[in-house]
Amino acid sequence: MTEFDTYLKSAPTQLFIGGQWVDAENGEKDEVVNPATGQVIARVARGGAADTEKAIAAANLAFLEWSETPADQRAQIMRTIADLIVADADRLAAIMTIEQGKPLAQAKGEVLAGAESVRWYAEELRRIYGETVPGPNGQLFLVQKEPLGVVGAITPWNFPSSMITRKISPAIAAGNTIVLKPSPETPLSATALMAIFQKGGLPDGVVNLVTGDAPAIGRVLTQSNAVRKIAFTGSTAVGKLLFGQSAETVKKVSLELGGHAPFIVFADAPVEKVVADLVSSKFRNNGQVCTSPNRIFVHQSIVETFTTQLAAAVRQVKVGYGLEDGVDAGPLIREDAIAKIDRQIADAVAKGAKLATGGKRLTDGAFAEGYFYAPTVLTGVTNKMEIFYEETFGPVIPVITFSGTDEVIAMANDTAYGLASYFYTADLKRIAKVSKKLQYGMVGVNSNTVAYTQAPFGGVKHSGLGRENGHQGIEEYVNVKFINLKYDF
């Protein structure tokens, strides 16, 4: 048995309810597959409605004490958890790479970012400030923030650790308790984290985990009156469904949904530097990122030089099993992800786009059993092609040529999504104009990164509601209460 097998076996495969690891009530299990090898690596409890009810009851009970636990004590437990995650980062990263596919270094980066999120909110919880407002007739108006109650969190497979820590950290920091449903593709990263939260001293029932039947779990979470908030990261279609389902019980909802980020390269941008930024950003998690640059707008005066350098750089991207050294891009998550990319490329080529490199599934040798795809550059892309409007979620770079600033702003905004956007230029007046006009929750100016623990992360339009990270992240997990105080009768 290798150390990686040992790591894998160390992740629990049961539900975590009220501080206990338990089987699903119906005894069913789901298989977890390694996307690099196609092999089944674990069987995990397939929970459903009854298990979710139990988890909500456990969270509701735990809320009574946790919400009253002094802030310093909550902070201390969270700091311990952050330290434990850091100390265990190699094991957690290996588990993630095996079930999700991303290269080990990226997996470790994600685990450490998660620890940072726990630490950040351990500090931030001591700054959940209220206000005093002068009222009429000698009254003092107090504005206080208090926890919501039980939070239902539903997370995707592409960031199987940090999408969880981004929700759990502000939620428990503010005194809430939580029921988490992680993705069935990546449950082991979630169970391994839960075990660490338990080891760190979090009281039973503060965090609970139910893997399994998504529609059944989602329905119970959204319809329960005890659950006061749904925090969701995933596709826009499922986000809209959960938003609708939550209406009946009038919950707070935050939604981190799909994106289709524009990446605009103006004529004065340094081509070599921008190509390097684009390649490192696009092949992070093999393009399976909601903030991945998906539509690359390049000024006509530099488009030839840019695409030549880009195709050369993309040919250097090393695809492989994420546990091997030097791999830049792992497999895609599932077979259907390959079918979607094949369809987008076939549609674009049929309508006049050209393949500068890539454009096909990799099947030779070590790639035979996994879901690998050649890093791809498409040129001559237009808004007549599906790839212009549909989120890609894979290793494809579509290049679109533009000539004017207003024209490119209009093209960049021509999408239902509004999560991340990027542009490169040294012209200050243009920076001011474009960053104002882009209809996005986040704008990277001469930068390919918009996700930081200390800065608000989230989208507009069909990309979602609410913000994670930053001091704004904790506001999503509190109610504002107004108290009118008179000192005498």
Name the minimum Å distance from CB 334 to ligand NAP. 9
State how far the Cα of 412 lies from the Cα of 403, in Å rounded to an integer: 13
Stretch in the footprint of ligand NAP (CB under 6 A) among 72-80, 125-133, 155-163, 376-384: 155-163
Question: DSSP label at 457?
Answer: B
Number of residues that bind ligand NAP (CB under 6 A): 28
Q: Which residue, among 264, 259, 256, has the nearest Cα to 238 in the 3D structure?
A: 256
- In 272-299, which positions are buried (b, 16+ CB within 10 angstroms) versus exposed (e)? eebbebbbebbbbbbbbbbbbbbbbbbb
Stretch in the footprint of ligand NAP (CB under 6 A) among 153-161, 319-327, 350-358, 481-489: 153-161
- In 389-400, which positions are buried (b, 16+ CB within 10 angstroms) versus exposed (e)? ebbbbbbbbbbb
Q: Does 35 bind ligand NAP (CB under 6 A)?
A: no
For ligand NAP, give the closer residue by CB, 191 or 379. Answer: 191
State how far the Cα of 227 lies from the Cα of 347, in Å rounded to an integer: 44
Q: Does 241 bind ligand NAP (CB under 6 A)?
A: yes
For ligand NAP, give the closer residue by CB, 299 or 462. Answer: 462
> What token pair was written down for 276?
């390097």
State how far the Cα of 4 lies from the Cα of 98, in Å rounded to an integer: 8
DSSP codes joined into one string, 330-367: ---SSHHHHHHHHHHHHHHHHTT-EEEE--SEE-SGGG
Question: Nearest to ligand NAP by Cβ — which residue?
Answer: 218
Look up residue 236 and give its amino acid.
T
Q: Does 259 bind ligand NAP (CB under 6 A)?
A: yes
Question: DSSP label at 317?
Answer: P
Stretch in the footprint of ligand NAP (CB under 6 A) among 8-16, 61-69, 149-157, 367-375: 149-157
Name the minimum Å distance from CB 234 to ligand NAP. 3
Residues designated as active site:
256, 290
Name the minimum Å distance from CB 420 to ligand NAP. 9
Cβ neighbours of residue 16 closer than 8 Å, sequence gap 6 or more: 22, 191, 194, 195, 198, 207, 208, 209
Q: Does 183 bind ligand NAP (CB under 6 A)?
A: yes
Question: Do the Cβ atoms of 106 and 160 come closer than 8 Å?
Answer: no
Question: DSSP label at 455?
Answer: S
For ligand NAP, give the closer residue by CB, 267 or 416. Answer: 416
Name the minimum Å distance from CB 131 to ligand NAP. 30
Name the minimum Å distance from CB 306 to ligand NAP. 26
Q: Does 154 bind ligand NAP (CB under 6 A)?
A: yes
State how far the Cα of 62 lies from the Cα of 45, in Å rounded to an integer: 23
Name the minimum Å distance from CB 315 to ligand NAP. 27
Q: Is the dihedral of CA 95, 101, 103, 108 positive or negative?
A: negative
For ligand NAP, give the closer residue by CB, 222 or 307. Answer: 222
Site string for ligand NAP, 209-238 (x = CB under 6 A): -----xx--x--------------xxx--x
Q: Does 465 bind ligand NAP (CB under 6 A)?
A: no
Query: Which residues sit opposite 255 in a β-bridge?
Result: 232, 465
Q: Does 257 bind ligand NAP (CB under 6 A)?
A: yes
Q: Does 276 bind ligand NAP (CB under 6 A)?
A: no
Q: Which residue, among 89, 276, 263, 100, has the nearest Cα to 192 in the 3D structure?
A: 89
Name the minimum Å distance from CB 305 to ligand NAP. 31
Q: Does 184 bind ligand NAP (CB under 6 A)?
A: yes
Applying CB under 6 A, among 149, 187, 205, 464 the residue interacting with ligand NAP is: 464
> What token pair was written down for 309?
């350098």
Applying CB under 6 A, among 110, 256, 277, 328 the residue interacting with ligand NAP is: 256
Q: Which residue, among 286, 233, 212, has the nearest Cα to 36 in the 3D structure?
A: 286
Q: Does 387 bind ligand NAP (CB under 6 A)?
A: no
Q: Does 258 bind ligand NAP (CB under 6 A)?
A: yes
Q: Does 290 bind ligand NAP (CB under 6 A)?
A: yes
Applying CB under 6 A, among 116, 328, 391, 476 the residue interacting with ligand NAP is: 391
Residue numbers at the binding site for ligand NAP (CB under 6 A): 154-159, 163, 181, 183-184, 214-215, 218, 233-235, 238, 241-242, 256-259, 290, 391, 419, 459, 464
